[in-house]
């Protein structure tokens, strides 16, 4: 049982440290191979960067496990790489405006709600 405990004590921190690399490498390679980041939300790297930077700044006061601090630094590097690859392979802007179909729907149905969302016909007894 002591061997299992020792192995977990060694491999668990390594797994924690490498998890950002293993989880986001596939996304980075996919964007790089297809040469487009269409469909990828740029909010994700921003949120993860913010969380990791806050985790780094929190460490001096809390002194949590060193593997989590190393993971936060690695996550900053991985998210910066993901953000760079996604921005470098961003599709060209074609002059389209968001929600144009929704605007047409508003004009057609005259209700002021997109696609008649939450607009039910009144049922009278």
pLDDT in tens, 22-39: 989 999 999 999 999 988
Instruction: Tell me what the mean pLDDT of segment 72-88 comes to.
Output: 95
Render pLDDT for 61-71 as a digit per residue (tens, 0 to 9).
999 999 999 99
The per-residue pLDDT for 125 is 58
Residue 30 and residue 18: Cα distance in Å, rounded?
19
- Is the confidence at residue 102, as pLDDT, over 90? no
pTM, two decimals, is: 0.70
> How many C-beta atoms surround the C-beta of residue 27 within 10 A?
17
CB 58 within 8 A of CB 111: no
Lowest mean pLDDT among 1-15, 48-62, 67-81: 1-15
């Amino acid at each position: 049982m002591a061997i299992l405990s020792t192995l977990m004590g060694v491999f668990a921190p390594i797994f924690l440290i490498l998890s950002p690399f293993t989880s986001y490498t596939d996304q980075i390679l996919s964007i790089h191979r297809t040469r487009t980041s269409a469909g990828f939300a740029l909010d994700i790297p921003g949120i993860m960067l913010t969380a990791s930077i806050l985790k780094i700044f929190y460490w001096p006061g809390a002194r949590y496990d060193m593997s989590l601090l190393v993971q936060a630094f690695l996550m900053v590097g991985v998210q910066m790489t993901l953000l760079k690859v996604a921005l470098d392979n961003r599709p060209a802007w074609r002059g389209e405006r968001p929600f144009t179909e929704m605007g047409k729907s508003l004009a057609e149905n005259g209700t002021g709600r997109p696609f008649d969302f939450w607009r039910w016909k009144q049922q009278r007894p």
